[in-house]
Amino acid sequence: MSKSDSRIVVYTDGGCRGNPGVGGWGFLMVDRETDQALERRGGEAHTTNNRMEMTAAIEALRCVRDTSHSIEIRSDSRYLVDMCCSWIKGWKARGWKRSSGPVLNLDLVQELDRLMQHYSVRWTWVRGHAGDEGNEYADRLTNDAMDELAKGKDPSAETRYERSPIPV
């Protein structure tokens, strides 16, 4: 993958064990100018894979305080990337309806739309489980969240780094 020209690069992931089932999400956000990074994870006891993919992106965007920073979100979810790059505009124009019926997960779709109005966001699809270090990192966070939920523990965690744990 070519180097990003975005200041902030975010790797996101979401998943479920069962669909619906125990779900987790995670992201790693790196400021390419300072090399500082933030990782965060969470989850829900009964959810879907797509909801967790969207939640990871929403939670990442909520962490960006400076709306002047350009952001690249890298995700292995074609659904998320296609939705944010193409589908959401049409759904919104049709009163939040798809040609085949209601928009699923409308609460999260509308929150993504709202957040994207405040930032310059570029969405990039990356192949999952193919050795992309950032994608593997976000996947580990997602699985850690699901593991904690399965043990009956709080899946939420956050770590800040003075230097990114992976090269971006």
Catalytic residues: 13-14, 53, 76, 129, 139
Q: Which neighbouring-strand residues pair with 157?
A: 41
Q: Which neighbouring-strand residues pair with 18?
A: 21
| Integer Cα distance of 116 and 56 in angstroms | 14
Edge-to-edge, what's the strand order for the sheet holding 8-18?
120-125, 70-75, 8-18, 21-31, 37-47, 157-161
Tokens of 28: 């790693």
| Residues 103 and 91 sit within 8 Å (Cβ to Cβ) | yes
Which residues fall within 8 angstroms of residue 119, CB to CB, at 6 or more apart? 61, 64, 67, 69, 70, 71
